[in-house]
Amino acid sequence: MTTYDKLRPWAAIEACQCERLTEILLVDLLTDNPIHCASCRREVDPERLQLTDNEVESIVRWHSAASALYRLWLDSGEYEDYAKQKLLDPGGQINRQARELAIAMSIRLPTRFWYFHDADDADPTHCPVCGEQLDTTVDWGIGICRPCHVRI
Ligand SMILES: [Zn+2]
Ligand SMILES: [Zn+2]
């Protein structure tokens, strides 16, 4: 992320135009919609997935808390360390909820959630949830743990 990006999150919003969705990624990119296509990384409208009202509500709830933590971390102020610790905690609320959402959504389409990683730290080699080695044969990012629905 460049400094400019912090002032223009809206410019990055484009809807996924892929003919077929194969994989969904739940990730907070500082926009209103955390549902993204895992191949083009653009936003996927919840209607396209035929999500239920309950599912949308759960996504909104998770996203609001996850985004709040992420913003506290980005702010690099008094709450940075607290936020990072929570973002990295596999048993913490936002990671638990994201995983539950990904599992539920995977009934329709394989869904993974983006796991927080501070680019200043060494690249993770193992899944933060189960501790198994990450599958690094991904076209972008560091790796994937399919059983845990984690992408990083
Ligand atoms: Zn796409
Ligand atoms: Zn795992």
| Domain ranges for the chain | 26-151
Q: State pLDDT tens for residues 48-87.
A: 998 988 999 999 999 999 999 999 999 999 999 999 999 9
Ligand 1 geometric centre to CA of 31 (Å): 16
Ligand 2 geometric centre to CA of 136 (Å): 13
Residue 122 DSSP symbol: P
Ligand 1 geometric centre to CA of 126 (Å): 27
Kindly state the tokens that stand for 121.
Answer: 């730290």
Q: State pLDDT tens for residues 79-121.
A: 999 999 999 999 999 999 999 999 999 999 999 999 999 999 9
- Residue 150 near residue 129, CB atoms below 8 Å: yes
Nearest ligand to the C-alpha atom of residue 15: 1
